[in-house]
């Protein structure tokens, strides 16, 4: 083997070792959802209830079998994502962040996202970073915008990005990890929030039109598909390691 071939061979080995392993996720169960065009999902651990939103302005609550409990329409709204805490529901529309009372679904306040970021970016997911105590919204682009907001007046603390992610359609936080859903390329990113948003692993799934992600204790990770109108349940242990 010539010196050039040896160098090339060692370089290829080095590149291969640096690549993340390709891990394919397989769904355990599939459920038909009670509303069409679902775009976001979030799980309430306190009430054992799923909150599902759609692109035609519907909010629905569901039990752990994905059966509808209650449904409410918000005419002339299009929801991209949903997050909730013990008191409020946080909804992303193409132009606004809306905050609703969790007990009666009444709108308490709203914030114009265009005023916040001065951008045409469409934000798809919102979550709370428990380590920085900030809300974070992420846009659906090849190079997503990641905006941190302080949790009371929702003023911008930081603008940034997360290396290695793109086309984000949904996300959820579990422990020290943030899981972000790439709805275009069928990828799920596992990001370490305690290590400066470091991408630890990229997982692969086989669902088309994925639009939302959450986690429910005793069930597993749930990915919803907008066009298929389905909820896919995953319980792969690799996701939790």
Nearest to 238 by CA among 208, 206, 203, 193: 203
Q: What local confidence, expressed as pLDDT, does residue 45 receive? A: 93
181, burial (CB in 10 Å: exposed 0-12, middle 13-18, buried 19+): buried
The pLDDT confidence band at residue 65, using thresholds 50, 70 and 90, is very high
How confident is the model over 156-215, as pLDDT tens digits? Answer: 999 999 999 999 999 999 999 999 999 999 999 999 999 989 999 999 999 999 999 999
Beta bridge partners of 191: 178, 199
The pLDDT confidence band at residue 2, using thresholds 50, 70 and 90, is low
Q: What local confidence, expressed as pLDDT, does residue 108 receive? A: 95
C-alpha pair distances (Å), 12 with each of 1, 142, 194, 200: 15, 27, 32, 22
Instruction: Say whether pLDDT at 225 is over 50.
Output: yes
The pLDDT confidence band at residue 121, using thresholds 50, 70 and 90, is confident
C-alpha pair distances (Å), 192 with each of 30, 50, 95, 176, 177: 28, 25, 29, 6, 5
Q: What local confidence, expressed as pLDDT, does residue 238 receive? A: 55
φ/ψ of 211, rounded to 5, equals -135, -10
What does the DSSP 8-state code read for residue 88? Answer: E
Q: What local confidence, expressed as pLDDT, does residue 239 receive? A: 63
Q: What local confidence, expressed as pLDDT, does residue 171 receive? A: 96
31 neighbors 220 (Cβ within 8 angstroms): no
Instruction: Say whether pLDDT at 227 is over 70.
Output: yes
User: Mean pLDDT in the chain?
Assistant: 88
Q: Exposure pattern of 81-95 as b/e (b: 16+ CB <10 Å)?
A: bbbbeeebbbbbbbe
CA angle 233-226-136, nearest 5°? 80
CA angle 155-160-163, nearest 5°? 150
Nearest to 38 by CA among 227, 198, 226, 218: 226
Instruction: Say whether pLDDT at 14 is over 50.
Output: no
How confident is the model over 88-104, as pLDDT tens digits? Answer: 999 999 889 999 999 99
Q: What local confidence, expressed as pLDDT, does residue 236 receive? A: 63
Q: What local confidence, expressed as pLDDT, does residue 10 receive? A: 38
Beta bridge partners of 40: 53
Query: How many CA atoms within 13 Å lie on the side-chain side of 184?
Result: 8
Instruction: Say whether pLDDT at 55 is over 70.
Output: yes
Give the neighbor-by-neighbor strand order of the sheet with 88-92.
81-84, 88-92, 96-101, 107-112
SS3 191: strand
Task: In whole angstroms, give the CA distance from residue 213 to residue 204.
Answer: 14
The pLDDT confidence band at residue 11, using thresholds 50, 70 and 90, is very low
């Amino acid at each position: 083997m010539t010196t050039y071939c040896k160098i090339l061979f060692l370089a290829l080995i080095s590149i291969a070792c640096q690549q993340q392993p390709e891990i394919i996720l397989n769904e355990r169960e599939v459920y038909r959802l009670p509303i069409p065009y679902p775009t976001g999902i979030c799980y309430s651990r306190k009430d054992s209830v799923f909150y599902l939103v759609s692109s035609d302005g519907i909010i629905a609550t569901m039990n752990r079998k994905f059966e509808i409990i209650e449904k409410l329409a918000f005419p002339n709204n299009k929801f991209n994502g949903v997050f909730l805490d013990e008191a409020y529901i946080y909804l992303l529309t193409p132009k606004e962040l809306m905050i609703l009372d969790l007990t009666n679904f009444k709108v308490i306040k709203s914030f114009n996202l265009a005023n916040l970021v001065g951008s045409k970016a469409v934000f798809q997911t919102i979550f709370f970073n428990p380590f920085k105590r900030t809300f974070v919204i992420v846009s659906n682009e090849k190079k997503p915008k990641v905006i941190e907001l302080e949790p009371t007046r929702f003023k911008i603390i930081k603008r940034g990005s997360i290396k290695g992610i793109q086309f984000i359609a949904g996300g959820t936080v579990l422990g020290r990890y943030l899981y972000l859903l790439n709805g275009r390329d069928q990828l799920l990113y596992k990001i370490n929030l305690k290590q400066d948003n470091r991408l630890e692993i990229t997982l692969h799934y086989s669902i088309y039109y994925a639009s939302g992600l959450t986690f429910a204790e005793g069930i597993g990770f749930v990915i919803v598909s907008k066009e298929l109108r389905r909820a896919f349940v995953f319980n792969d242990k690799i996701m939790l390691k």
